[in-house]
């Protein structure tokens, strides 16, 4: 009996030590400096990418997050929203000339960027693959929204990228659902989201504010451009919408039922980024961490 009791005590001690070690290894965003664009030219990375926004969280050397950006200077400029899960975090770019070296992966929805340690004479370089939701035209820096949704440093399930706005016009989704401020949590059952939005009906030329919530397999957040919107249609006029979503890293389209409480007045844009093309070296557009 004494041996059994001693064994139980030893097992409990080992479990407690393991839990403390796991807690100690959890790295909050900002505890480790985020990587920056690699400065040494690498011919294996012929593309140039300007990240307008970058939000991340991380634990035990694995970081996850989302943002928006443009492929620039390639003769075929385009915009994209992205999600990622990599061994390092990274910052958004500064002014127009600040870019990441990049290359396409084997997928047209994957972009590998080259990053380097910040503030080091001989920085370590490594890569991170962004999973894209691509738009046909580049995003406008002056039209960019500051992303308010934080990314948790610890997760209850494996990180899942948020979905973004589906670009191809769908005539049976005639409403424009612009999310002004969106939040999201995840668990094994679903994505759960809530926030404020403005709903525009082009046919009626009317616009109203809305408080919304959803429980969907794939969720969504704030539109990354002030002019951006999710295509939507009424399921129950005045109370429930269905919105179209673009999944990152693929051409898959998702749909999400959204409960809304309509408001007489629209919500103001409160998270607009003021962009200075001659941004100083000490300021980074959208490089805030939660």
Residue-level pLDDT at 19? 39
How do beta strands 100-104 and 47-59 pair? antiparallel
Residue-level pLDDT at 279? 34
- For residues 139 and 187, membership in a common domain is answered with no
Residue-level pLDDT at 239? 98
Length of the chain counted residue by residue? 290
Residue 268 resides in a domain: no
- Give the global pTM: 0.80
d(CA 225, CA 15): 47
Mean pLDDT by runs of 10 across the 290 residues of the chain is: 48 43 40 86 96 84 90 85 93 92 95 92 89 93 79 63 94 97 87 95 96 96 93 98 96 97 90 43 30
Residue-level pLDDT at 155? 52
- For residues 122 and 218, membership in a common domain is answered with no
Q: Return phi, psi of residue 5, to 5°.
A: -60, -40
Burial of 167 (0-12, 13-18, 19+ CB in 10 A): middle
Residue 104 resides in a domain: yes
Burial annotation 47-64 (CB, 10 A radius, 16+ → b, else e): bbbbbbbbbbbbbeeebb
d(CA 275, CA 187): 36
- For residues 139 and 40, membership in a common domain is answered with yes
Domain C-terminal end among 79, 114, 143: 143
Residue 276 resides in a domain: no
How do beta strands 253-263 and 78-86 pair? unpaired
- For residues 45 and 129, membership in a common domain is answered with yes
Residue-level pLDDT at 62? 81
Residue 274 resides in a domain: no
Residue-level pLDDT at 75? 73
Residue 81 belongs to what domain range? 36-143
Q: Decide: 92 and 286 in contact? Cβ < 8 Å.
A: yes
Residue 281 resides in a domain: no
Q: How many domains does the chain have?
A: 2
Q: Decide: 175 and 204 in contact? Cβ < 8 Å.
A: no
């Amino acid at each position: 009996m004494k041996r059994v009791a001693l064994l139980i005590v030893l097992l409990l001690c080992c479990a407690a030590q393991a839990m403390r070690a796991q807690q100690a290894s959890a790295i909050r965003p900002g505890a480790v400096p985020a990587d920056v664009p690699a400065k040494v030219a690498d011919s294996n990375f012929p593309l140039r990418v300007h990240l307008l926004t970058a939000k991340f969280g991380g634990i035990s050397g694995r970081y996850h997050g989302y943002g928006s950006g443009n492929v620039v200077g390639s003769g075929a400029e385009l915009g994209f929203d992205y999600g990622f899960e990599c061994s390092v975090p990274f910052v958004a770019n500064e002014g127009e000339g600040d870019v990441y070296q990049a290359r396409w992966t084997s997928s047209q929805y994957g972009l590998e960027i080259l990053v380097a340690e910040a503030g080091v004479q001989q920085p370590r370089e490594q890569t991170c693959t962004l999973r894209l939701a691509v738009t046909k035209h580049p995003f406008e820096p002056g039209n960019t929204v500051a992303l308010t949704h934080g990314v948790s440093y610890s997760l209850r399930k494996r990180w899942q990228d948020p979905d973004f706005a589906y670009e191809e016009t769908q005539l049976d989704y005639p409403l424009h659902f612009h999310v002004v401020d969106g939040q999201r949590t995840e668990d094994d059952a679903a994505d759960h989201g809530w926030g404020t939005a403005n709903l525009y009906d082009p046919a009626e030329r009317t616009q109203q504010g809305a408080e919304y919530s959803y429980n969907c397999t794939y969720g969504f957040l704030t539109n990354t451009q002030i002019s951006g919107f999710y295509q939507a249609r009424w399921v129950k006029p005045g109370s429930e919408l269905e919105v179209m979503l673009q999944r990152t890293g693929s051409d898959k389209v998702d749909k999400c039922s959204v409960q809304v409480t309509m408001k007489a007045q629209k919500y103001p844009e409160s998270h607009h980024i003021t962009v200075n093309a001659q941004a100083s070296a000490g300021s980074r557009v959208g490089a805030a961490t939660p």
